[in-house]
Amino acid sequence: MIEFRPDLPKYEQLAAEIRRRISDGVYQPGAPIPGEPRLAEEFHIARRTARKAIELLIKAGDVYTARSIGTFVSQPPQETPGSTAE
Amino acid sequence: MIEFRPDLPKYEQLAAEIRRRISDGVYQPGAPIPGEPRLAEEFHIARRTARKAIELLIKAGDVYTARSIGTFVSQPPQETPGSTAE
DNA sequence: AGATATTTGTTCGTATGTATC
DNA sequence: GGATACATACGAACAAATATC
């Protein structure tokens, strides 16, 4: 039985969704994103799978986690060093 | 790429390597060996393959595993039953 | 001080699907 | 078809750090 797999793994889909929410300002820099148990529940996936999505985001520098505290959106790198930013 | 099998399966090779390390005292009786994720990473194999190697060692009595905890080197059987052992 | 709950971090145990030999 | 091997995924449990009561 031929079985293509047009969709990405769940953990990649979740990582993309979280990135989308960061881009949209739903999750703002410095603010926490939902915890692993919450994400697992919301997306109907295992906690370990939610964690794998977060691990992708950590490696990419999009978020950082503080153990026992939570996961937070990284501060975006200053892109216009000549402007009023400080 | 034609691949005869001059070598054993990876999981047997890994099992042999772990046995070697036990013999050499790198992994000592009662002490833990690296977990499946660690072995998979170190030897560049899938976690499932690392597990198969450990399963061989378990069947042989070389190690034992405690779920969610880790895998440990078995205590060697007393070989001189006539001595102070009881 | 002690106990409890929460959250990240990690592990073993298991199953499924895919691919190759 | 079976054996090997990989990636994905769920489940359960343990561990450590933190916060709260």
Closest nucleotide to A71 by C1' from CA: C8
CA-to-CA dists, residue B27 to A24, A25, B47, angstroms: 51, 50, 20
- Tokens read off for A6: 């047009």
A14 touches strand D (CB under 7 A): no
Reported as a pLDDT band with limits 50, 70 and 90, residue A3 is very low
A68 touches strand D (CB under 7 A): yes
Give the percent of chain A with pLDDT over 90: 78
Cβ-based contacts (< 7 Å) between A 37-66 and strand C: 37, 47-48, 51, 54, 65-66
Return the DSSP state at A82: T
**Which residue's structure tokens are 């047009």?**
A6
Better-predicted residue by pLDDT, B30 or B86: B30
Q: Is the pLDDT of residue B38 over 90?
A: yes
Per-residue model confidence as pLDDT tens digits over A57-86: 999 999 999 999 999 999 987 666 665 555
B68 CA – C3 C1', rounded, Å: 25
**pLDDT of res. B24:** 97
Q: Is the pLDDT of residue A1 over 50?
A: no
**Which residue's structure tokens are 């490696």?**
A59
CA B63 to chain centre: 6
A25 CA – C19 C1', rounded, Å: 41
